[in-house]
A and B are shown apart, each in its own frame.
Chain A
Amino acid sequence: AQSVTQLGSHVSVSEGALVLLRCNYSSSVPPYLFWYVQYPNQGLQLLLKYTTGATLVKGINGFEAEFKKSETSFHLTKPSAHMSDAAEYFCAVSHPSSWGKLQFGAGTQVVVTP
C-alpha cells in the first residue's frame, strides 16, 4: 500500500522568502508523484509532476520539486513567495497497479505575509 505524508498542515512565509513544502511517500514500486494547488472554493490545479526521467521537475508559477528516491521524498520549493501563492497544496502519488487512482497527502495551507 502507498501513503503520502505532508509535514506541516500550515506554513507561514514572508513575501519574497523561500517556500518549502515537504512530502514523503511510501510505495513498494517507483511511483508517479504530483503536486496540486487549490485556491479557496475551487478545484485542484496541477503544479508539476514526476513520472520518469529528470528528477528535478519544474512546474507553473515558479515552483519546482525534486524526486529523491533514497529519501522517498518529493519536496516542493519556490525561491521567492508571492502573495498569490497563498493556497492549499497537496502532494499525491500513484503507480501503475492503482489504475490511476491518486493517494493524496493531508494538504498544507500556505499563508503569505507582507
Chain B
Amino acid sequence: EIVMTQSPATLSVSPGERVTLSCRASQSIGTNLAWYQQKPGQTSRLLIYGASTRATGVPARFSGSGSGTELTLTISSLQSEDFAVYFCQQYHKWPLTFGGGTKVDI
C-alpha cells in the first residue's frame, strides 16, 4: 500500500501567519490527493481534491500544490477558525490511505 507521511506532526503558529503543511507519498500518486480539516465535535471537512482544487465553500486562503510524491497544503493567513488537525489522503491506488495528520495550534 502507499504510505502517506505528513510533517510536521504539530505546528504552533499565530493568527495571520502563513502555514505550509507537507504530505509525502511512498510512491508517485500524481495529483490524486485530498486534504481534510478535522475539528473536535465537528464532521471532517473536505478542503482540497485533485491536489489543488478547492472544495465548494472553502476559502481562498487554502491552497494545495505539488504532484508525485511531494504535496503541500498552504494556508496563506491563518484565521482563528483554522486551528485544527489536517490530514491528507491518496486515492491513486487501493487501498485508500491517509497521512497521520498535522495539528495546527497556537
- Asked whether A and B interact, the reply is no
Interface residues of A (CB under 8 A from B): none
